[in-house]
Each structure stands twice: as C-alpha cells, then as structure tokens.
Structure 1
Amino acid sequence: MEGKEEDVKEGASKFPERQPIGTSAQTDKDYKEPPPAPLFEPGELQSWSFWRAGIAEFIATFLFLYITLLTVMGVSRAPNKCASVGIQGIAWAFGGMIFALVYCTAGISGGHINPAVTFGLFLARRLSLTRALFYIVMQCLGAICGAGVVKGFQKTQYEMVGGGANVVNDGYSIRDGLGAEIVGTFVLVYTVFSATDAKRNARDSHVPLLAPLPIGFAVFLVHLATIPITGTGINPARSLGAAIIYNKDHAWDDQWIFWVGPFIGAALAAVYHLIVIRAIPFKSRA
C-alpha cells in the first residue's frame, strides 16, 4: 500500500490539474476583470476596424441566410423526408454555418451574426452602443440580401415553400412560440457567454479555439427542439430577412415574436451570466 501511495503522489506531481477544483478555481490572482465598454464611443467611427467589423457581420449573415434557406427549400420540396436531409439536416445546416462563420469572423467582429447575441453582449458591456447598433443594422441588411439572392436564383420554388419565413406552426399557440424563442435564445446566448468568457480564456488557452464549436452545437440543438414550433428563429435578422423577401401577410403576423422572444432570452442570459455565474455585482461591492 505504501508503494501505491507513493505512485499516486508522484503521478499528481507529474500531471497536476490544469483547472483547480472548488474554491481554488475562483481565485483572481492571475486575472483582472476588463473594464466595461463605454456606452458611446464616437471615435470608433473613424477607425477602419469598426467598419470592417460591420462588413464582416454583413457578409457572415448574408452567407448564413443563403445556405440555410437553400437547405430549408430542399427539404420542403422533397417528396418525402427520406428523400432529403430532413429536420436533422436543417438543424445541422444552421448549426454548422454558425460554427464556420463564428470561426471565420470572431477575430474581426466577434462573430455575432445575430442581433440577439449583440444585444446580450451589449447589456454585459462587452461592446459600445455605437457598435451594437451598427452590427444589428449590418446583420439585418446581410440577412435581407441573403434571402433576396436565394429568391433571385429560385423564385418559383422560393414562393412555393414559403421562403423559409418563421411562423408559429399549426397546433401551437402564440405563447408556445414566444416561450420557444425565449428559451432557445437563452440557450444560445448563455453558451456564447460561457464560450467567450474572458476569465476562462485567461486560464485555459484552448477555450478561444474551441468557442465556435459549442456555439454552433447550441444552435443545432435548439433547432432540433423548436423547428416544429416556430421553424426556429432565435435570430431576429434571420426572421426579418426571410419575412421581407417573402413578404406575405402570414409571415408578418407573428414577426414580433421573433424579436421580442430573442431579446428577452438574450437579456435573461446576460443577467444570469453576470450575476449568478460571474457574480460581478458582488465583486464590485467588495
């Protein structure tokens, strides 16, 4: 037994835990909380990095709508589910595109590609109001252009399958749709906060490299759960772009759900992360 105890001690010395467990994991000795972003930062408007970040958000949202709407159209036009990728394929298209696009744009704009994500990060003071508004405008424009290109290439098919517009499906109530959007967006934005947490990045160098993976996977899982209810919005730009290009009355009837729900979900995720997970208000008092 004594020999085994020595082996355990030697192994513990050679292979220490990278991340301490318990109270020791909460030490702030090697980490300093970054200051909150200013509410207004007019100087950003004179910076090329500001404008290229907006362009990156536009292109990313454009590509996101283009690929995902084509996938939705392919499934809708198939004679049966077995002849297409089905709901699982749609979910993979949305999650996979987010994974790829966040990976490509994270170092330029942060890879938001979603007004709800931008709103949540703004509430956490990760970016200024100036940048947040610019991102949201560019995301919406990118979504409109992406849906427009899909319709331009395949107008007849686009009209036949509803243009990928989000609506509350038959058999579900407005409350069901709103709840699905709130909880679904909470899952997404909570994952974004966890995957991009500055303290985790400082402690674990692999976290920034892996951040796009859990974010894309969260989008995939939420789509599996909520496609039957609302077609899954959780992204106001995606819902707006499809509604504007499709432009039929029923596509506008429930449009408010795909703005109110995601923004409530994003706000709840921001509050939960800041107060419960990070306890930042309590640290400030201390």
Structure 2
Amino acid sequence: MEHREEDVRLGANKYSERQAIGIAAQSEDKDYKEPPPAPLFEPGELMSWSFYRAGIAEFVATFLFLYITVLTVMGVSKSDSKCSTVGIQGIAWAFGGMIFALVYCTAGISGGHINPAVTFGLFLARKLSLTRAVFYMVMQCLGAICGAALVKAFGKTLYQTKGGGANVVNVGYTKGDGLGAEIIGTFVLVYTVFSATDAKRSARDSHVPILAPLPIGFAVFLVHLATIPVPGTGINPARSLGAAVIYNNEQAWKDPWIFWVGPFIGAALGALYPQVVIRAIPFKSK
C-alpha cells in the first residue's frame, strides 16, 4: 500500500502544472527537427522537371477552382429568386469544397497553394524560394484567367450582364470595410494553412490524425460565408484578377487594389503570427 501511494505521488508530480492542458504528457524529445529555411534564390530549380510540374499543378488547380466557383456564382446571379438556387451558402461551399479537393490533390506535388497570398505567406516564412514563389504566382494568375474565360464561353451575354463573378465592394460598405474584410479573411486562411501543415504539430500530435486540406477548406468556407456581403470575398488575388480580366468592365477595375493589398497584408500577418508569436522561431537558440 505504501508503494502504491508513493507511485501515485510521483506520478502526480512528474509533469509541471505550468504546461498547457493536453500536452503535459508530450515529450519535447519527439523525433522532430526544424526544417531549414529555403534559399532566397535557387537557380538549380530551373533545371528540374519537378519545378515545372509543380507550376503546372498550380495552373490546373487554379483553373479548376475558378471554373467551378465562378460558374456557381453565375448560377446564383442569373436567378431572380435566390431561394431556387444554392444561395450564398452554396457559393461558400463551392469555394471551400474546391479548396479542400484541390489542396488534397496537389499538396504532394506543389504544396497546393492555389492562391498567391498563400504563396506569399509561405515565402515570408522561408518555406519556398523566391524563384518558386514568383513562378507559382504567375501560373496561378494564368490558371485563374483561363478558368474564368471558360465560364464566359458557356454564355457570354449572361456572363457580362451578371457581373462575371468579379469582386467589388458592395453597396453600403466603404473601401475601408472591403480592405479590412480582405485582410482578416486572408489572415484566417493563412494562419490555418500554417497550423494544419506544421511539421512539429504532426510529430508532437501524431496520435491525433488530421487531414490538412479539411481545415483549410473549412476556413475558406467560413470566410466566404461571413464576408461575401462585404467585398464579395476575394482572399485570393488570382481569383480576383482572373474574373476582372475576363469580365473587363469598369466596375471590375474600380477598386482592384483592395483585392491585392488586403490579401497580401493578411497573408503577411497570418505567416508572422504562428512563426513569431506561437512558435517564436526567430528567438530560439541554434
């Protein structure tokens, strides 16, 4: 009996009470090493087929993303009664669902960015080189333009008269409202990307299975659900550019900077917060 009481006493004091609930039994000696930062320039990538294969994957994924999502938007826009369509909830599901599917399909090839803002955030965290980041952004924008063009090919008149899926700040909201919505929305997305793909989390919480594309897709869904009434929800410069280029109307080019500046600011904050505040990587001793 005495030995049992001693075991209980030792077990109760084995771990510090200062540790957060749920991680007290986690060992810091897990098999994990912080991956080294990607080089700023990596000329060798230009000679690798995997580099171009990843760019093609980003192009095709963004092409399919714009095709499905803008076509969904047009389906809602053409109806006089939103009750007969999927409505805002359906549009949000189209965006979130496609991101889930496409990230799942392309994560092993290109990382499944499908968004220049995500690429920018990962570049700031030195997860990829500047060479690859620029290449990805170009391919994403080209894919978005082609995806929107295919939707327009299905019905040019309908496309031009129903807004073409272009992002604009809606009536009743200011440019500041639109910019704020884009910043916060992109922050939510990029922060989720970093959390869902954190290698340390995978090593530490290996007993908790997580499918990274799922929370990323849900983040996109929820952000669209919340902010579609404000700026139509961009949080993806390629998506906004593709629709604007193909729609090519004065309305689409009224405030295009909001859908580039907002996502890039949000992506920067979304990258710095988990790296600097949560992980405190810059302050760790080598």
Q: Same fold (TM over 0.5)?
A: yes
Contact kept in structure 2, 1:195 and 1:207, CA below 8 Å = no
| Aligned residue in 2 for 1:255 | 256
Contact kept in structure 2, 1:69 and 1:164, CA below 8 Å = yes
Which ranges of structure 2 fall in alignment gaps of 5 or more residues? 12-19
**Do the aligned partners of residues 206 and 263 (structure 1) sit closer, same or farther apart at CA in structure 2, a change above 3 Å counting?**
farther
| Aligned residue in 2 for 1:34 | 35
| Aligned residue in 1 for 2:247 | 246
- Displacement after TM superposition at 1:203 (Å): 2.8
Contact kept in structure 2, 1:120 and 1:266, CA below 8 Å = yes
Cα deviations by residue, 1:1-27 (Å, 9 ceiling, x for unpaired): x9xx99xx9xx9xxxxxx983466472
- Displacement after TM superposition at 1:156 (Å): 1.1
| Aligned residue in 2 for 1:16 | none
The answer on 1:137 being equivalent to 2:121 is no
Amino acid in structure 1 at the alignment position of 2:234: G
Contact kept in structure 1, 2:59 and 2:140, CA below 8 Å = yes
Identity of aligned residues (%): 80
Which ranges of structure 1 fall in alignment gaps of 5 or more residues? 13-18
The correspondence of residues 186-201 of structure 1 with structure 2, limited to 5 A, is 186-201=187-202
Contact kept in structure 2, 1:62 and 1:146, CA below 8 Å = yes
| Aligned residue in 1 for 2:273 | 272
Alpha-carbon distance in 1 for matches of 2:100, 2:133 = 21
Alpha-carbon distance in 2 for matches of 1:26, 1:134 = 40
| RMSD, matched Cα | 2.1
Describe the SS at the equivalent of 2:256.
Answer: coil
Contact kept in structure 1, 2:26 and 2:204, CA below 8 Å = no
Describe the SS at the equivalent of 1:251.
Answer: coil
The answer on 1:59 being equivalent to 2:60 is yes
Amino acid in structure 1 at the alignment position of 2:282: P
Amino acid in structure 1 at the alignment position of 2:97: G
Equivalences, count: 272
| Aligned residue in 2 for 1:175 | 176
Describe the SS at the equivalent of 1:249.
Answer: coil
Contact kept in structure 2, 1:65 and 1:146, CA below 8 Å = yes
Amino acid in structure 1 at the alignment position of 2:260: W
Describe the SS at the equivalent of 2:230.
Answer: helix
Alpha-carbon distance in 1 for matches of 2:190, 2:145 = 23
**Do the aligned partners of residues 241 and 168 (structure 1) sit closer, same or farther apart at CA in structure 2, a change above 3 Å counting?**
same
- Displacement after TM superposition at 1:29 (Å): 4.5
Amino acid in structure 1 at the alignment position of 2:62: T
The answer on 1:50 being equivalent to 2:51 is yes
